């Protein structure tokens, strides 16, 4: 590297990281706009619109709403007045109902007579559903537009059913070279060659790489009959058997699973795709996001353990927005990537973050948006059942009863967020 090049690279990485961080904050603000705009349209009183949590960094008041930024950039919120129904009567009093009543009383202190009819809980269920789903749908729309832009303009790498290379031996997951003790791979035994296009697997016509990959993995150690197109002719290869081998899990690449193994790599091409393919790819990524979300506490614990013990950080481990910004900086500073590569990678990273935020907020537990959506749906269903049964209206669902759940999840989210921020500073993910 030439003298003076490294400082320039560092500057590029820092500036790119800051830009990406700003784009994340913009995504957060757009998410909150998804709540704020329909709330205003439906006449709900909104007193705060903030990006971040904790002490105020900067704010300004416009009308009845205070807009601003707070020092802990781990999300954002809009404060809708009257989130809890004002009048709820419980048959039996206990600690939980007392806690709910106290929360309701605290909220009532800022409610005036002029606010009646403008409270969130006063609005019909369909309006509350639109308000609470607006944020997560904004994240989903942003993810779709970002991925569609990348796939349509830059393209995306896609595997085909044409063979690029045949592995001469059975390799364990993530190994690179064969040894004399490794047995021949099933593909090599069958006579598969580079350039062959696999057209059928055990008599089933093969249309795509994803289909073929699933057929191979699900075959375990069963028999295989392959038919390929070679030099314009259909060729039936020698029967062989797939074997069970440890390979990366498709939905969780950081984890290995035992699946059927054939032993070849597919040819890669660049595909320029439209909205339909974008939706299909987002569903594949969503399965990976849901897998990571279900294991997020465990994955965060693993990150903390690896950081304490000095173990190298798993490239597939979860990151905070600090870590995502560092990765964006690393991409921008990589001299082997073209400008188009960098823009496409950074845009895809931002799209993936918005897609994860969508699924994260869909979780039907408070304080996530999905928790409020679940409460509104529960209320609508309960009222409908009572109406059909000829019973009196049971009244609004007391969402304040879920406060202990919201507190536990809130503390867990804060702890995981702090762990990931520290890990992203001390032991960041290295993609190069």
Q: How many helices (H) and strands (E) does the chain have?
A: 11, 12
Positive or negative: CA dihedral 36, 40, 44, 46: positive
Contacts of 71 (CB under 8 A, 6+ apart): 52, 54, 55, 56, 57
What are residue 157's DSSP bridge partners? 270
Residue for token digits 């106290």?
102
Contacts of 47 (CB under 8 A, 6+ apart): 64, 65, 66, 79, 81, 110
For 245, list phi and psi in degrees, rounded to 5: -145, 150
Q: Where are the alpha helices (DSSP H) in 59-182?
A: 95-108, 125-149
Q: How far is CA 376 from CA 207, 263, 388, in A?
A: 44, 51, 18
**Which residue from 259, 264, 258 is spatially nearest to 186, judged by alpha carbons?**
264
Contacts of 262 (CB under 8 A, 6+ apart): 185, 186, 187, 192, 216, 224, 242
Q: Is 39 exposed, middle or buried (0-12, 13-18, 19+ CB in 10 A)?
A: buried
Q: Which of 13, 32, 159, 207 is catalytic?
A: 32
Helix, strand, coil content of the chain in percent (nearest 5): 50, 20, 30
Structure tokens at 290: 């849901």
Q: What is the DSSP string of 297-319?
A: HHHHHHHHHHHHHTPPPPTTS--
32 is a catalytic site residue: yes
Residue 253 DSSP label? T
Catalytic residue positions, numbered: 32
């Amino acid at each position: 590297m030439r003298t003076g090049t490294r400082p320039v690279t560092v500057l590029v990485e820092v500036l790119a990281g800051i830009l990406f961080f700003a784009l994340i904050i913009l995504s957060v603000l757009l998410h909150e706009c998804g709540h704020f705009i329909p709330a205003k349209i439906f006449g709900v009183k909104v007193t705060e619109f903030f990006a971040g949590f904790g002490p105020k960094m900067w704010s300004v008041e416009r009308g009845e709403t205070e807009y601003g930024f707070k020092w802990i950039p781990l999300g954002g919120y809009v404060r809708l007045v009257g989130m809890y129904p004002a009048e709820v009567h419980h048959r039996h009093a206990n600690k939980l109902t007392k806690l709910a009543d106290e929360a309701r009383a605290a909220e009532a202190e800022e409610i005036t007579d002029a606010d009646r009819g403008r409270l969130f809980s006063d609005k019909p269920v369909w309006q509350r559903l639109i308000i609470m789903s607006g944020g997560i749908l904004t994240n989903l729309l942003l993810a779709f537009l970002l991925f569609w832009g990348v796939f349509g303009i830059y393209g995306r790498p896609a595997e085909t059913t044409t063979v690029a290379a045949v592995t001469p031996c059975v390799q364990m997951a993530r190994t690179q070279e064969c040894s004399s003790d490794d047995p021949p791979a099933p593909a090599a035994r069958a006579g598969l060659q580079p350039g062959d296009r696999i057209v059928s697997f055990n008599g089933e016509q093969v249309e795509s790489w994803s289909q073929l990959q699933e057929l191979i993995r699900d075959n375990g150690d069963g028999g295989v009959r392959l038919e390929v197109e070679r030099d314009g002719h259909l060729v039936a290869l020698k029967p062989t058997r797939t074997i069970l081998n440890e390979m990366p899990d498709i939905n969780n690449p950081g984890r290995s699973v035992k699946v059927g193994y054939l032993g070849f790599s597919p040819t890669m091409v660049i595909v320029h795709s439209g909205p339909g393919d974008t939706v299909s790819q987002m569903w594949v990524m969503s399965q990976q996001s849901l897998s990571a979300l279900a294991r997020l506490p465990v994955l965060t614990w693993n990150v903390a353990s690896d950081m304490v013990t000095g173990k190298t950080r798993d490239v597939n481990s979860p990151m905070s927005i600090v870590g995502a910004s560092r990765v964006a900086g690393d991409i921008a500073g990589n001299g082997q990537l073209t400008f188009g590569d960098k823009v496409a990678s950074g845009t895809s990273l931002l799209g993936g973050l918005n897609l994860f935020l969508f699924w994260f907020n869909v979780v039907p537990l408070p304080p996530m948006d999905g928790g409020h959506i679940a409460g509104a749906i529960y209320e609508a269903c309960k009222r409908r059942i009572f109406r059909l049964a000829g019973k009196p209206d049971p009244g609004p669902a007391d969402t304040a009863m879920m406060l202990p759940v919201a507190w536990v999840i809130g503390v867990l989210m804060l702890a995981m967020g702090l762990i990931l921020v520290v890990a992203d500073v001390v032991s960041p993910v290295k993609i190069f």
